[in-house]
Amino acid sequence: MTDSRFSPPQGLPDAVVFDWDNTLVDTWPIIHDALNHTFRAWGMREWTLEETHAKVRKSMRDSFPALFGDDWVKAGDVFYERYEEIHAEKLRPATGAGGLISALADAGVYQCVVSNKKGPFLRKEAEALGWLARFGALIGAFDAPRDKPARDPVDMALKAGGMRAGDRVWFVGDADIDMECAHGAGCYPVLVRAQPPGIDEFADFPPALHFTDCDSLCKFTQTL
């Protein structure tokens, strides 16, 4: 689906900036488990999976202070301790993700990742999937002066490949914060998720294109 407010892409992009969680990898069950483990440690109400889907957007340093107050750093340690215990066995590529990044690499498109997951975990997961060589940079939370949706990590990731943000750079993600980041950095916003955009859901930062999964995006790129 193409949004009429944007021009259709003219050929393949020069670069693609990917979100990580639930764009290239399916990590909702892992995040949900680790988050509720942390809530239990603080005697707080656990979230349903639907609440986790709806509320988990910002990085830890932007979201945990509101949840845990002055204890947010300790809570972050508990979260990541649990995450590290379970993520290796539960980590799965998203549908079509491997094929998409392989096809873009074969076409000579520069690829990088901007995530609100801590950088060391992000890079460990990419290594576990055998994807490290596919990306010119993997920038996570705390790697840049500010986290997504600020443009800092986008500029950092593109600079590693000698690139600059612009409409020839696609930002591919599954959430509103990704579309906001794309707009803020001046990139071409591409939404990848099963559900189509709701009415006025992306009123301020609309996606230019929507695809149900990485496989459908890959097939689209092969037509360009």
**126 in the same domain as 185:** yes
pLDDT at position 216: 97
**58 in the same domain as 40:** yes
Q: Among 94-98, 100-104, 198-202, which is the least confidently predicted range? A: 198-202
User: Average pLDDT in the 192-204 region?
Assistant: 92
For the segment 58-93, what is each residue's pLDDT rounded down to a tens digit? 889 999 999 999 999 999 999 999 998 988 778 899
Question: Structural domain tally of the chain?
Answer: 2
Domain assignment of residue 149, yes or no: yes
Which residue, 90, 125, 144, sits at the end of a domain? 90
**142 in the same domain as 76:** no
- Is residue 57's pLDDT more than 90? no
Domain assignment of residue 4, yes or no: no
The domain of 19 spans 15-26+92-221
**56 in the same domain as 147:** no
DSSP string, 32-85: HHHHHHHHHHTTPPPPPHHHHHHH--S-HHHHHHHHHGGGHHHHHHHHHHHHHH
Between 82 and 53, the higher pLDDT residue:
82
Domain assignment of residue 9, yes or no: no
**205 in the same domain as 102:** yes
User: Average pLDDT in the 165-173 region?
Assistant: 97
Stated pTM of the model: 0.88
**99 in the same domain as 198:** yes
**33 in the same domain as 105:** no
**152 in the same domain as 134:** yes
What is the share, in percent, of the chain residues with pLDDT greater than 70?
A: 98
pLDDT at position 4: 62
Domain assignment of residue 127, yes or no: yes
pLDDT at position 53: 86
pLDDT at position 3: 63
Cα 153 to Cα 130: distance, rounded to the nearest angstrom? 23
pLDDT at position 198: 87
Domain assignment of residue 71, yes or no: yes
**187 in the same domain as 102:** yes
**Which CATH number fits the domain that encloses residue 165?**
3.40.50.1000
